[in-house]
Amino acid sequence: MATASEIIQYRFSLPEEELVFDIEMNQASGSLLDPPDDPAHLKGDYPDWTYLSSNQCSHCPLKTADCDRCPAAVRVHEVLDTFKKSTSIERVQLQVITPRRTFQQDCDLQTALNSMLGLQMATSGCPILSRLRAMANFHLPLSTFEETLYRSVSAYLTQQYFIHKKGGKADWDLQGLKAFYKDLEILNQAFSMRIQAIEQSDAVSNAIVLFFASSIQLADAIEDGLEEFEDFLTGKSTN
């Protein structure tokens, strides 16, 4: 079971430097919504594009009177600023250190950033992206599309199992999961407009695009009833 002290560390080994980012995996790290009367909340040293009112998602349930900043923007602003002059095809030795195992891969920077940004946004405190929290608890760096699809559907069906056990009406047809990915498409458009205010590199913009593009692919697969992936997901085939 995850504890409050668990951290996932992303290490980017570049030709001239090593950059390290620690991502806390606990409930506190997933809540960046400081009370409005907290001076740090009102005067935080964050760029203007992180204000909640800056291209706020049309379906965002947060109110500017209660929350000054977009949680997802606050969560990733440091990373976006760090890599704003980097190129997407730049090679990087990526090491992801979790409490139980270490992953390592030579890959392009946009792929490495996509993996980390996905985890950061899922644990940002954004009420929409927080629905990815169960997947974040079992984070798999640099996962393939098929792995992400399996984890997404499995996580959702696990939630439905517990709803069923408690006497609720379980959604075995994945209607709620389909609706969630439609919400992600709306968030994608708004967040992309939000970060246009940054002087950014193609590594940053491409990483964001990759994160949300995978959501569109997942939505299409689920909308089609997972028919194309039935044999693979049920173990009848290996590809």
How much is the mean pLDDT over the chain?
84
Quote the radius of gyration of the chain (alpha carbons, Å).
18
pLDDT range class, residue 1, cuts 50, 70, 90: very low
Burial class of residue 100 (count of CB atoms within 10 Å of its CB; 0-12, 13-18, 19+):
exposed
pLDDT of residue 196: 76
pLDDT of residue 65: 87
Give, in order, the Cα–Cα distances in Å from 104 to each of 21, 48, 111, 189, 205.
15, 35, 13, 32, 23
Residue among 78, 19, 215 at smallest CA distance from 135: 215
Cβ proximity of 186 and 58 under 8 Å: yes
Cβ proximity of 67 and 52 under 8 Å: yes
Q: Assess whether pLDDT exceeds 60 at residue 140.
A: yes
pLDDT of residue 6: 82
Tokens of 9: 């560390």
